[in-house]
Amino acid sequence: MHRAFLPALGLAALACLASPALAEDLQFSVYGGYQTAPHSGVDVSDGTHFTAGWEGKSFASPPYYGARVTWWLEDLGHPNLGLSIDYTHDKVYADSKTLATSGWSHFEFTDGLNLVTANALYRFPQDGGRWTPYLGAGVGVNIPHVEVTRPSGKTFGYEFGGVTLQAQAGVDFRITERWSTFVEYKGTYSKVDVPIDSGDRLKTDIFTNAVNLGVSFHW
């Protein structure tokens, strides 16, 4: 099993163990989509600095995807407010120009930036229709799989990167009482500070933009 998928399985397990008293207020969602990232500056503690151009390659293996559990606070008298735990397998590849400029032969976070965030959500009041717009924002951490190959050595493994901020806006379409589908925009900011070979540290701030399409199960 791909290790980057374990957080998503954890979310599913959390949903299955939820109290029956909260059943009607919970939903479990999975999604995929198209994710990109703008250029960002890269600083290494040995004095190296360059600007990285990133490619998302959303549909290349391993693909971009995510999963989340959402609890709408209906039982607490706030039916339009919700809380979620969200796992997103964002990824970025340094483009060929970046590799030529830096002199590195390999530079990417493609077993994921692996973002885990806690979020507050607001859904607009429902008027009996099937469409429900929503907004959300949250904070969490990133755990990137760091892949760097440069003349001084090679780094290949998961590291704790730092803090991540997330914002989202979308619309949910109810298919049945239990199932719905949704489309959303999600933007993230991740402050990455990780160890690499030769005792050095690599720092970069990565922004991602994604358009997601997903499905939710409600209970």
**Quick check: helix, strand or coil at residue 194?**
strand
CA distances from 201 to 87, 157, 190, 194 (A): 25, 14, 16, 6
Provide the domain count of the chain: 1
Domain annotation covers residue 21: no
Q: Model-level pTM? A: 0.88
Asked whether the beta carbons of 138 and 118 are under 8 A apart, the reply is: yes
Examine the pLDDT at 9 and tell me if it is beyond 80: no
Domain annotation covers residue 192: yes
Asked whether the beta carbons of 84 and 136 are under 8 A apart, the reply is: yes
Q: How confident is the model at residue 219 (pLDDT cuts 50, 70, 90)?
A: confident
Query: Which one, of 61, 81, 65, lies nearest residue 73 by Cα?
Result: 81
Q: What is the per-residue pLDDT for 126?
A: 75
Report the range of poorest mean pLDDT among 21-25, 108-112, 151-155, 200-204: 21-25
Asked whether the beta carbons of 67 and 30 are under 8 A apart, the reply is: yes
Instruction: Give tens-digit pLDDT for 147-205.
Output: 999 999 999 999 999 999 999 999 999 999 999 999 999 999 999 999 999 999 999 99
Residue 116, domain CATH: 2.40.160.20
Q: Which domain holds residue 161?
A: 3-12+27-218
Close Cβ partners of 204 (under 8 Å, ≥ 6 residues apart)? 40, 41, 42, 43, 52, 192
Domain annotation covers residue 17: no
Domain annotation covers residue 99: yes
User: Which tops the pLDDT comparison, 20 or 166?
Assistant: 166
What token pair was written down for 84? 């979620």
User: Which tops the pLDDT comparison, 35 or 77?
Assistant: 35
Helix, strand, coil percentages, rounded to 5, for the chain: 15, 60, 25
Q: What is the per-residue pLDDT for 17?
A: 42
What token pair was written down for 66? 């995510």
